[in-house]
Amino acid sequence: MTPRVAAVVHAGVLAAAIVLRVCFTLMLPFGPTVAGRLEGLNDEPAHFNYVRYLVQHRALPVQTRHVAEPGAFERADFEYYQPPLYYLLCAPLVAFAGDHAGLTLCRALSLVCALLSLVVLSRMLALLGLGASARRAGVAFAALLPVHVYFTSVVSNDGLSWLIALLITHELMRRVSVGADRPKGHVADVRLGVLLGLGMLTKSALAVFYPVVLLAYAVLRLDRRRALAGAAIALGLSLVIAGPWYARNVMVYGSPFALQVGFGPPEPGRWSLLAQAHAAAITIQTFWSPMEHVPTTSVVIALRMLGIALVALHATAALGGLARRLPLDRPTLVAGALLAVVVAGHVALNLTWGESEGRFLLPALAPIVFLVVAPVFAWAAGRKHGEAIAYTYCVLLAAHPYMFLAFA
């Protein structure tokens, strides 16, 4: 394809993805029901009740029951332990428009966060060294990926947290880059600290960035004093912004993250190989297709096996691609560290509570997209129509899980 044709095709794909996301925002049923082959998010009522509580009481709620208790989904009161930023942004919308229209407006806020995420993602892929065609493919992949579409079409703090995660990742990559775009002075440290603080006020899962930030400052080619000062500014400012919330958690719940309040008592027996293999399979299944209402038929099982095979294929290709890039440049090193920390946190969460949803990996959306797209375009380099084939493949890879809806 000529550059002009490629740009037109990409614009068409993005337009289709935006229409799809708007349709999901307007058409997904509220709560754990199925309508029009689409399944609503079972904990969306709990997220929305958080917003309603803020509107009605003008105070932060306190959670007294966890999600594993009988009747939790009927009461929908098990998300109150979550940090409040997203819900505080939604509260004026509901107060102004009422519950019915407010629900749509809160979903629209998630949608806006998703669309902004695509812009940030494109800039990040450039920092990771991808060319224009590969960047377009990466953005198209994320724009169509069902797990990202689904959770940014409902009332949930996921969309805002993933946007802030991308902004933090972008800031870190700029901080460690060697080009003229690299920020200088402590303004960048302040900006990073503000983003970290806002992220921790959106979702505590963004604590995964703290070790990555320390690594980023460790690999900066600065003298030790300047690196320590920059890290201290970024981390200290984030604690000033988010610290009061986590201090409140300690006083109210007895722990800073209050995970035992949200998830309930830890589950025993999670250390067996069988349990971990099952968790890995569920993670892959829900990464490709987050809706769980599809009956388990032979065709559906085949599609799930295809999903596992695709993950294995791309993981192998990504490892091979990284090996060929050794020694890794600093932005790639930061991206790899982020993915490693997110995966480690996901495994730890599963070992303790058996939570293995694929969406928990999306704070590392940028590294995931990079490791999917980069090997495909490396393979396509120098081949006739290689870039067109690689772009089409990435689009189809993201779109293939929508086939599950045909069997719902």
Sign of CA dihedral 211, 212, 215, 220: negative
Split into its structural domains, the chain has a count of 1
Nearest residue to 262 via CA among 32, 29, 43, 31: 43
pLDDT, tens digit, for every residue of 315-340? 999 999 999 888 888 899 999 999 99
User: First-to-last CA distance in the chain?
Assistant: 37
Average pLDDT rounded to a whole number, residues 157-186: 85
Model confidence at 382, pLDDT cuts 50, 70, 90, reads: confident
Asked if pLDDT for residue 161 goes beyond 90, the answer is yes
Q: String of b and e for 11-32 (b: at least 16 CB within 10 Å)?
A: eebbeebeebbeebbeebebbe
Amino acid at 26: L
Asked if pLDDT for residue 399 goes beyond 60, the answer is yes
C-alpha span between 110 and 132 (Å, rounded): 27
Average pLDDT rounded to a whole number, residues 7-28: 96
C-alpha span between 250 and 247 (Å, rounded): 5
- What φ, ψ does residue 35 adopt, rounded to 5°? -150, 135
| Cα–Cα distance list, 332 to 113, 237, 337, 387 (Å) | 25, 26, 8, 22
Model confidence at 178, pLDDT cuts 50, 70, 90, reads: low
Q: Which residues are CB-contacts of 90 (< 8 A; sequence separation ≥ 6)?
A: 51, 102, 105, 106, 109, 155
Q: String of b and e for 304-321 (b: at least 16 CB within 10 Å)?
A: beebeeebeebeebbeeb
Quick one: pLDDT at residue 270?
Answer: 75
DSSP 326: P
Q: Which residues are CB-contacts of 271 (< 8 A; sequence separation ≥ 6)?
A: 351
Q: Which domain holds residue 167?
A: 3-261+269-407
- Global pTM reads 0.95
Quick one: pLDDT at residue 311?
Answer: 96
pLDDT, tens digit, for every residue of 107-140? 999 999 999 999 999 999 999 999 999 999 999 9
Quick one: pLDDT at residue 127?
Answer: 92
Nearest residue to 134 via CA among 402, 381, 406: 381
Quick one: pLDDT at residue 74?
Answer: 87
Asked if pLDDT for residue 179 goes beyond 70, the answer is no
Average pLDDT rounded to a whole number, residues 350-369: 93
Residue 78 token pair: 């098990």
pLDDT, tens digit, for every residue of 261-289? 988 888 876 778 888 888 899 999 999 99
Quick one: pLDDT at residue 355?
Answer: 86
Quick one: pLDDT at residue 221?
Answer: 60
Quick check: 152 and 158 in contact, CB under 8 A?
yes
pLDDT, tens digit, for every residue of 62-109? 999 888 888 888 898 999 999 999 999 999 999 999 999 999 999 999
| Cα–Cα distance list, 250 to 119, 247, 258, 344 (Å) | 37, 5, 8, 24
Q: Check residues 389 and 228 and name the one with the higher pLDDT.
A: 389
Quick check: 373 and 141 in contact, CB under 8 A?
yes
Residue 362 token pair: 């999306």
Phi/psi region, residue 269 (left: phi>0; alpha: psi -120 to 50; beta: rest), is left
| Cα–Cα distance list, 139 to 98, 125, 136, 371, 375 (Å) | 35, 9, 5, 13, 15
Average pLDDT rounded to a whole number, residues 343-350: 92
Quick one: pLDDT at residue 403?
Answer: 95
Asked if pLDDT for residue 180 goes beyond 60, the answer is no
Nearest residue to 352 via CA among 263, 277, 283: 263
